């Protein structure tokens, strides 16, 4: 299975998750490339069995660099007719959305809309969205926002336990995709 992981990370939380996904996919037998969103404009999603896109949640959306990349790629695929009415599935093309979030306000409820939003770009391309993974990350630069939100004390997250779960889930994902499950 050939995969690419495209991510944007301001504080390092999302990058840690991206690297854990890479390790897990490789442990599962995948061939994996890793790219920062700002450098992934030339990546052809259709060259991969699995495209993983990760970012932190910013006000219920992906951050602007990720939104820009998704919109540009959508336009690039739309013009030659790869976006079709009814969004028919393209066999063997899968996407994984992963989103880091913190808890100063409502926690995961702020991240889910961002993940759904990003997933729709892939659904319209005919990809099967095989997962939306939401991983808690420390709110860097504010002890108050990392300790007093709905999630409690999230300093140091994603921690070793969080990242190990991501690795295991990624290795299992390779097996699931290869088996067509």
- Tens-digit pLDDT string for the chain (181 aa): 999 999 999 999 999 999 999 999 999 999 999 999 999 999 999 999 999 999 999 889 999 999 999 999 999 999 888 888 888 899 999 999 999 999 776 789 989 999 999 999 999 999 999 999 999 999 998 899 889 888 999 999 999 999 999 999 999 999 999 988 6
Residue 60, token pair as written in the block: 């219920």
Give Cα separations from 179 to 131, 172, 174 (angstroms).
16, 11, 9
Q: What is the CA radius of gyration of the chain?
A: 16
- Give the helix ranges, DSSP H, for 62-139: 64-78, 108-125
Q: How far apart, in whole angstroms, are the C-alpha atoms of residue 149 and residue 107?
A: 8
Residue 16, token pair as written in the block: 């840690």
Who's near 31: CB < 8 A, 6+ residues apart? Answer: 1, 2, 3
Q: What is the pTM of this model?
A: 0.95
C-beta of residue 103 within 8 angstroms of C-beta of residue 67: no
Residue 66, token pair as written in the block: 């990720």
Closest to 11 measured CA to CA, from 169, 154, 121: 154
Which residue in the block uniquely carries the two structure tokens 């390790």? 23
Q: Which pLDDT does position 181 carry in this prediction? A: 65
Residue 137, token pair as written in the block: 């990350």
């Amino acid at each position: 299975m050939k995969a690419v992981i495209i991510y944007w990370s301001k504080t390092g939380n999302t990058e840690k998750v991206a690297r854990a996904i890479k390790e897990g996919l490789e442990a599962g037998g995948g061939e994996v490339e890793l790219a920062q969103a700002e450098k992934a404009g030339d990546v052809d999603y259709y060259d991969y069995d699995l495209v993983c896109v990760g970012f932190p949640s910013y006000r219920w959306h992906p951050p602007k660099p990720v939104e820009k990349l998704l919109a540009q790629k959508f336009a690039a695929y739309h013009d030659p007719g790869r976006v079709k009415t009814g969004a028919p599935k393209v066999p063997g093309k899968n996407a994984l959305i992963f989103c880091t979030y913190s808890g100063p306000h409502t926690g995961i409820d702020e991240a889910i809309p961002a993940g759904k939003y990003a997933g729709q770009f892939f659904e319209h391309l005919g990809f099967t969205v095989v997962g939306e993974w939401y991983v808690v990350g420390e709110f860097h630069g504010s002890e108050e926002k990392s300790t007093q939100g709905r999630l409690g004390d999230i300093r140091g997250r994603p921690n070793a336990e969080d990242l190990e779960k991501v690795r295991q889930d990624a290795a299992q994902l390779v097996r699931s995709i290869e088996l067509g499950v």
